[in-house]
Structure 1
Amino acid sequence: MTSFDFSHYYTYQELVDYLHHIEKTYPQLVELKVIGQSYAQRDIWLAILTNKNIRNYLEKPAYWIDANTHAGEITGSAVASYIIHHVVTGYPQDTQLTRLLDDYTLYVLPRLAVDGAEKYLTSPHRLRSSIRPYPYQQEQDGLHRQDINGDGLILDMRIKDDCGAWKISEQDSRLMVRREPEEFGGDYYTLLPEGEIYNYDGYSVKLAPPVEGMDFNRNYPHLWAPEGTQKGAGDFPFSEPETRAEAEFWQKHRNINGFISYHTYSAVILRPYSTHPDEDFPVKDLEIYKLLGEKGKYFTGYECVSVYHDFRYHPKDVTYGVMDDYGYDHFGWFGFTIELWDAATEAGIQKDNYVEWNRWHPPEDELKLLQWNDQKLEGKGFIDWQPFDHPQLGKVEIGGWDYKKVWQNAPIEYLPDLCKKQCDFAISLALMCSRLAISRTDVIHVEGDIYHLVLEVENQGFLPTYTSEKALERKSVRPIEVTLSLPDEVSLISGKLEQEIDHLEGRSNKAFSWLAKGNDYRRHLEWVVKSSISTEVEVTVCSERGGTVKGCFSLKQ
């Protein structure tokens, strides 16, 4: 498999077949694991990437990547799948990728919403995460999105209405523009989603809540709030088998240092918190977050912003129960939600505010989008308005943007460049993990059968072995453990066979100063032993997030 297939987005079976092909082709670098089953009993597959010939994957610092938390955000699944391919096919030719697989572990979950994504990919329907009916078991009265004209798409309906808020643009008949507040005397329209009205009384039209209203990215424990406060939250934190499978994996795999979660859309890198201002961060953590965000802008071109300050859906609302807040606040991981792709950005539109633009923007921006569609997508992104006799509403016109293929996800011709840039950033972040190493093992013959042993251990990574100030606050990382294993013929005179030592700094605490504060990234330990024979003594140093390393002292008579 010498190239990645950018021709389409993978269905569930295609994705599973792809993962198994990668594992079969690169067995020394890839191990697949099922971390749980979905609501519909589909396996949730995780790829573990590391060089198996060099230590077990649990004994190396690890980085977590997931995607497709939301059913329709399949661009993320493509990026995650591409990362798997790029990393293993670049080994051992690429020195950076060789270092990554030899010294680190990547956990890549290409698709969390396996049920929802399958429905999204194989039908006209759009849904948030799960196919589980939520919060109601039965469909509610009102307008439900459906493909009523049978063209395989669910678009928009425009209906002539004297009270309508929209009119056809004089510059392009495809474009609907807002009616002026004081305007009368023209042809006006109401815009509705294409669909059917359940229990229509012939008069009232209201939008029904979606049948599948579950949102996995509101189901995590950090400041979780119930449905009345946070739509899509689920019955309780980790109530869904998909998010619970993640949680159980994270709890058992303690070597994770950080994460990326791929979503769409807006072409922006989001960082915590969703619920707190930056003033609530430990100062050092906020500095590192900003530094990592700048690295993201360098690789991807995306700005890195705080969700609370720059990506709120409403100025007075916050979003509860999201994954990146949980990852940082509970584990102390530095991580990002990356909103991939943005049609408006590709059309050359400059957004002053990511969320506000979606609520309101000038008609000139829409004209730019239509021009981009015509020139770059050969017109396929916008479906011209076509008359249709609606069984309940009478004469309507159906048309509009193909939201799934243009807005929510990148058109496939844009995938190669997008995947490459995101992959470079992900690799950069993974290589910033803490990384334990033994720098020296000295044996000093004192006299006779007495030996003085000195071990020097260091953190060669950018991040400290505790990851963040928040991790220290939460006590989410154990101290470094050192174990000296003595053969029967060797006895300990001084020192401890088992001991804990404080965490080691990395280079992150030197990112904002010229001079180091000593070698806080390195520590030495000492023992005195007695041995009457020539033998070897092994020492094991274990850092939950920095990895496990072993050294050997040779005692010679």
Structure 2
Amino acid sequence: MEHSVLIEDLQAAVDGQADLKPTPRAHSYTKYNTWTDIVAWMSSMTSSSSGLMTKQVIGNTYEGRAMTVLKIGKASSSTKPAIFMDCGIHAREWISPAFCQWFVKEALSTYGTDSQMTSLLDQMDVYVLPVFNIDGYDFTHKSNRMWRKTRSRRSGSSCIGADPNRNFDAGWCSMGASSNPCSDTFCGYTPESEIEVKNVADFIRRNKSTIKAYLTIHSYSQLLLFPYSYTYDLAADHNELMKVAEGASSALRSLYGTRYTSGPGATTIYPAAGGSDDWAYDLGVKYSYTFELRDTGRYGFLLPESQIKPTCEETMLAVKYIAAYAGRVVGVYRSFKDFSPAAQYVTTAEYSLAASPLGQASA
């Protein structure tokens, strides 16, 4: 059987991502930041945002860390439609929280100069949860780089944690999830048994009338997925979701040529019950997408820090595309074209989507 070695020394790759200095380094957008650094960064960014961003604690993790949602948008006397985005639901996927931090930076620093971002934040709000699975993320920095689950414990079991992306009430614990508490894909003891999942689900339920798109950022595989993952049945909005995903993937590819595959989770990657995007879609958030960022397996979860910047830059284009489409459909923009001028990475294919009968739907 022919084979090739992808990583000669896995420990060296792990060490290359870790902050091994005695004194913690400052927050950086091109480094993988510790949870302590991210906490300080959130406070600093909020205080310097000139009122464009506020923060709200939506609950605590199992180990007592505050789950903080950042709300970004121009203040308004009326309720605005919103997008919810979370990162770091799986602890070892470090490029995911790096993207959420990058998005916040770009939103705040380009407001007023970038027409797309300015239009987005004038007309909509964006909720950002920089790290969903905080306990697990902290554990990957301190003890086990490849840890995936939460860190909850249950009396009588030596197994720790559950997979938060198998713990949502969407086909819970059926195909693609495990009932074994020691498994990496353990679905939990009941839907929303993980406090982190319940906190996020409660927040989205409270705000479901305004949340029009749900984006969850993962790695790796270079995929843009949408419901369903807990069944092979196609979503009622399958055709529209696919067209939007293909448009977003095209926007992403326009920068560095990175190719993404789009499709329903169950057939595009694998069946997985209890996922957050399926749950959000069934709740009524039509534009629910899962990003699987770089790469396709060369580095996997150990994506080098040198790839943070290009990964985040190209992913911003896809996120803007979905935001533009969702905003167009709910009527906050006169047209999809107005929000995404050709000078800002919108391709001919995207103009075709905007001008098609699909692009005019529900305007």
- 1:329 has 2:312 as partner: no
In the alignment, is the contact (CA less than 8 A) between 1:267 and 1:302 conserved in 2?
A: yes
Give the 5 Å matches for 1:126-525. 126-133=146-153, 137-138=157-158, 211-225=159-173, 227-228=178-179, 231-253=185-207, 254-278=209-233, 280-282=234-236, 285-300=237-252, 301-312=259-270, 318-342=271-295, 344=297, 406-434=299-327, 460=333, 511-512=356-357, 521=363
Provide the rounded CA distance (Å) in 2 between the counterparts of 1:89 and 1:216. 32
- 1:9 has 2:29 as partner: no
Instruction: Please state whether the residue corresponding to 2:58 is helix, strand or coil.
Output: strand
Aligned to 1:113: 133
Which of 105, 109, 112 pairs up with 1:89?
Answer: 109
Instruction: Please state whether the residue corresponding to 2:69 is helix, strand or coil.
Output: strand
Instruction: Please state whether the residue corresponding to 1:244 is helix, strand or coil.
Output: helix
Instruction: Please state whether the residue corresponding to 2:326 is helix, strand or coil.
Output: coil
Q: Tell me the CA shift for residue 123 of structure 1.
A: 2.2
In the alignment, is the contact (CA less than 8 A) between 1:273 and 1:306 conserved in 2?
A: yes
Q: Tell me the CA shift for residue 428 of structure 1.
A: 2.0
Greater relative CO, 1 or 2 (CA 8 Å, sep 6+): 2
In the alignment, is the contact (CA less than 8 A) between 2:211 and 2:285 conserved in 1?
A: no
CA-to-aligned-CA distance 1:346-405 (integer Å, 9 cap, x gap): xxxxxxxxxxxxxxxxxxxxxxx6xxxxxxxxxxxxxxxxxxxxxxxxxxxxxxxxxxxx
Aligned to 2:45: 22
The structure with the largest strand share of the pair is 1
Q: Tell me the CA shift for residue 436 of structure 1.
A: 9.6
Q: Tell me the CA shift for residue 306 of structure 1.
A: 1.9
Letter matched to residue 89 of structure 1: S
Letter matched to residue 84 of structure 2: W
Aligned to 1:79: 99
In the alignment, is the contact (CA less than 8 A) between 1:34 and 1:45 conserved in 2?
A: yes
Q: Tell me the CA shift for residue 36 of structure 1.
A: 0.7
Count of residue pairs the alignment pairs up: 309
Provide the rounded CA distance (Å) in 2 between the counterparts of 1:117 and 1:513. 40
Aligned to 2:58: 35
In the alignment, is the contact (CA less than 8 A) between 1:432 and 1:461 conserved in 2?
A: no
Provide the rounded CA distance (Å) in 1 between the counterparts of 2:108 and 2:157. 44
Provide the rounded CA distance (Å) in 2 between the counterparts of 1:287 and 1:509. 15
In the alignment, is the contact (CA less than 8 A) between 1:16 and 1:45 conserved in 2?
A: no
Provide the rounded CA distance (Å) in 2 between the counterparts of 1:271 and 1:136. 37
Provide the rounded CA distance (Å) in 2 between the counterparts of 1:84 and 1:118. 21
Percent identical residues: 23
In the alignment, is the contact (CA less than 8 A) between 2:85 and 2:127 conserved in 1?
A: yes
Aligned to 1:122: 142
Letter matched to residue 302 of structure 1: Y
Provide the rounded CA distance (Å) in 1 between the counterparts of 2:169 and 2:280. 10
Instruction: Please state whether the residue corresponding to 2:230 is helix, strand or coil.
Output: coil
Aligned to 1:102: 122
In the alignment, is the contact (CA less than 8 A) between 1:135 and 1:214 conserved in 2?
A: no
With the length of structure 1 as denominator, give the TM-score of the two structures: 0.52
Letter matched to residue 120 of structure 2: L
In the alignment, is the contact (CA less than 8 A) between 2:220 and 2:294 conserved in 1?
A: yes
The structure with the largest helix share of the pair is 2
Tell me how large the CA RMSD over aligned residues is: 2.8
In the alignment, is the contact (CA less than 8 A) between 2:170 and 2:230 conserved in 1?
A: no
In structure 1, list runs of 5 or more residues that go unmatched.
Answer: 139-210, 313-317, 345-368, 370-405, 438-457, 464-506, 522-557
In the alignment, is the contact (CA less than 8 A) between 1:265 and 1:409 conserved in 2?
A: no
CA-to-aligned-CA distance 1:209-268 (integer Å, 9 cap, x gap): xx3341000110011127538941111111111011111111111210011101111111
Provide the rounded CA distance (Å) in 2 between the counterparts of 1:408 and 1:124. 13
Provide the rounded CA distance (Å) in 2 between the counterparts of 1:9 and 1:43. 20
Provide the rounded CA distance (Å) in 2 between the counterparts of 1:19 and 1:110. 9
Instruction: Please state whether the residue corresponding to 1:432 is helix, strand or coil.
Output: helix
Aligned to 2:8: none
Provide the rounded CA distance (Å) in 2 between the counterparts of 1:217 and 1:66. 12
